[in-house]
Amino acid sequence: MTPDLTAVASATKGFLPDDEAAALHAAALTARPGLWLEVGTYCGKSTVHVGSAARAVGAQLATLDHHRGSEENQAGWEWHDTSLVDPHTGRLETLPSLRRTLWDAGLDDVVTAIVGTTQQVGRWWTTPLTFLFLDGNHTEEVAQHDYAAFAPHVEPAGVLCIHDVFERPEDGGRPPWNVLRRAVDTGAYEETAVTGSLRVLRRTEKPVT
Ligand code: MG
């Protein structure tokens, strides 16, 4: 990434260490042009890393979030940020932050924000994908749903990245690990790289189940 874009990403709130951000960017650069999808946008930190790769490759990136925060972002939870609360709803509201991030990064023409839950969007999504980044809600139900809703749309040889994957339970929640196991154990994806909690996989010819 250019120093300008690295500075924008660094200044953006989010939960992505620098080494994982670099690995995500590098993985995205190996994906083909076409439509890319990020599930879980928050304020757009990873969106800058993936979006800049999309610009380089000639892809378009859609980034999907309801923008009202996950459980762990709500008041009283560990990852709550009071500066992101919308006084009108009393809930988190990260869409304005994303808009500012995309403006600062000059990525408005590459990134399309989709505002909704994955359950809503999964119902109508049909477009094939050449890159998918799963980084949404980390409950078992939603993490499995997001894989089932979007992973089948990744074309053979397409790239799947999964964030917050922890092999040891003491390091973090189980759902992303369980999604990784599902992807690999069913043969639908082959793992190609690991950096911290970021896993990079490539789609095979086998069906997603
Ligand atoms: Mg994450």
Span 143-159, pLDDT tens digits:
999 999 999 999 999 99
CA distance 172 to 79: 14
Ligand 1 geometric centre to CA of 41 (Å): 9
CA dihedral 191, 151, 171, 24 (to 10 degrees): 70
> How many residues comprise the chain?
209
Q: Write down the number of H helices and E strands in the chain.
A: 7, 7
Element (H, E) at 37: strand 35-39
What's the distance, Cα to Cα, between the start and end of the chain in Å? 35
pLDDT digit string, tens, across residues 30-75: 999 999 999 999 999 999 999 999 999 999 999 999 999 877 776 7
Give the pair of three-digit tokens for residue 79: 């990852």
Predicted local distance difference test score (pLDDT) of residue 128:
98
Ligand 1 geometric centre to CA of 155 (Å): 23
pLDDT digit string, tens, across residues 168-208: 999 999 999 999 999 999 999 999 999 999 999 999 999 99
Residue type for 182, please?
Answer: R
Ligand 1 geometric centre to CA of 46 (Å): 9
Ligand 1 geometric centre to CA of 53 (Å): 18
Residue type for 34, please?
Answer: G
The sign one gets for the Cα dihedral 189, 191, 117, 140 is: positive
The count of other CB atoms within 10 Å of the CB of residue 70 is 18
Considering 49, 138, 145, 153, which one is annotated as catalytic? Answer: 138
Give the pair of three-digit tokens for residue 93: 């509201």
Ligand 1 geometric centre to CA of 136 (Å): 7
pLDDT digit string, tens, across residues 94-129: 999 999 999 999 999 999 999 999 999 999 999 999
**pLDDT mean across residues, the chain:** 95
Q: Near ion ligand 1, which residues have CB within 5 Å?
A: 135, 163-164
Predicted local distance difference test score (pLDDT) of residue 69:
87
- Confidence band of 134 (pLDDT split at 50, 70, 90): very high
Helix or strand or coil: residue 6?
A: helix
Look up 49 and say whether it is catalytic.
no
Pair 146, 118: CB distance under 8 Å: yes
Superfamily of domain 3-203: Vaccinia Virus protein VP39 (3.40.50.150)
Ligand 1 geometric centre to CA of 162 (Å): 8
